Amino acid sequence: MSGPDKPKVIGEEWSDERVKSFLAIEPYDEAESTDFNALLKAYQAMRAGDFERFIGFFVDAGRNLDAVNEKGETMLDRISEHRKGGEYARVLKSAGAKGSAAAGN
């Protein structure tokens, strides 16, 4: 991850432990979905290959791929709006994510 005091590292390999650590991320707002927040943070921080590994761990942990944010959007809905989100959307769909329209949210 990068920030003002941490330069962005390109091509860094992520261990399974680092990828799995995103399962423990909690939202700041208790009203926000823990599952949606974890998916969002993973999407924002990971390359598509690491995100795919994360989704495997996420599903294995029994987490909800179709969790929604305060606007009723799933992560698939959000990613589908992004120009460079195609590979991430494919990962979610192949793992069983449906999106809010198909999930009836």
Mean pLDDT of 16-34: 91
- Domain range for 92 is 17-103
Q: Count structural domains, the chain.
A: 1
- Asked whether residue 85 is assigned to any structural domain, the reply reads yes
φ, ψ at 7 (rounded to 5°): -70, 145
- Asked whether residue 74 is assigned to any structural domain, the reply reads yes
DSSP one-letter code for 24:
G
> Is residue 5 predicted with pLDDT exceeding 70?
no
pLDDT in tens, 40-79: 999 999 999 999 999 999 999 999 999 999 999 999 999 9
Helices (H), the chain: 16-20, 34-45, 48-60, 75-80, 86-95, 99-103
Q: What is the pTM of this model?
A: 0.82
User: What confidence score (pLDDT) does residue 102 get?
Assistant: 57
- Asked whether residue 2 is assigned to any structural domain, the reply reads no
